[in-house]
Amino acid sequence: MKNNQQHLDHIVRAQTGFTLVEVMVAVGLFGLVVAGTIEIYIMCSRVWRVTVLSMDTSQMASLAVQRMVYGLESNCSLRSAGLITLQTNAYGHPQPFPAASKYWETGNEPPSAGNVTHYTHVNCAYGNDGSWRLLISNEWSGVESIDYNSKMRNILFCPDTNQTSAARAKRQLICNYVSAATITNTGGTVEITLTVEKSDGMFIASNQASMVVTKRNN
């Protein structure tokens, strides 16, 4: 009789399942595992976004310098220039600058190379805001320019230096997101330094590229 009672007690305990304490401990452990997994995912996601952003700015800065030195398609470049003239007394935009145009802050797409906001003045009443124009010419291409517009944070190649709609349509983008760009021209040797800076939400990355070029036709 005693053995039968013990057997019945064992069956009852088996059918009652887990106690409340056991369930709470299991849920707590599961929560810790899930929380840890989410935290690791968020950390890895942040590292990945920063890495991608840094690689992007590095590539953009390097490509911009190469485009200035070796040209875009069949256009003139610093390497093939017969004459180089640097104009540092430039202003990037003649009108009050609209906040909506700050694509590097808003996350909007940068305006196209032919957009009217890419308006670089030299020798104007507005003075100098860090923008510049580099005039380059040779026998077969005539006078062309590379313009840095500090207000729009871009560098453009301009086969026609006029500001007409027809001239704007010919422009080609060298680089956007250029937070700083300096250039010197001494005795046919041109030194270029530029910084590309981009943001992705709370993440910001910047990279600098530079090059010293001696024109071949010097």
* 144 phi, psi to nearest 5 deg: -130, 175
CB 100 within 8 A of CB 70: no
What does the pLDDT read at residue 94? 66
Q: Spell out the per-residue pLDDT of the chain, length 218, in tens.
A: 545 555 545 554 555 566 777 777 777 787 778 777 777 777 777 888 888 899 999 999 999 999 998 887 766 678 777 888 899 989 887 665 666 678 998 888 898 888 887 888 888 777 888 999 999 887 766 788 899 999 899 999 988 877 778 888 889 999 999 999 999 988 778 899 999 999 988 889 999 999 998 866 55
What does the pLDDT read at residue 8? 46
- The token pair at 11 is 């069956």
What does the pLDDT read at residue 180? 95
- The token pair at 86 is 């640097």
DSSP assigned state of 148: E
What does the pLDDT read at residue 127? 80
What does the pLDDT read at residue 2? 46
- Quickly list DSSP for 60-121: HHHHHHHHHHH-STTS--TTT-SEEEEEEEEES-SSPPPGGG-HHHH-PPPPPTT-TT---E
Tokens 């704007």 appear where?
168
Spatial strand order in the sheet of 142-149: 121-122, 83-91, 131-138, 142-149, 154-158, 172-175
DSSP H helices, the chain, are 2-15, 20-70, 103-106, 165-168
CB 161 within 8 A of CB 143: yes
In degrees, rounded to 5, the angle at the alpha carbon of residue 167 between the alpha carbons of residues 164 and 168 is: 85
What does the pLDDT read at residue 149? 93
Read off the amino acid at residue 109.
E
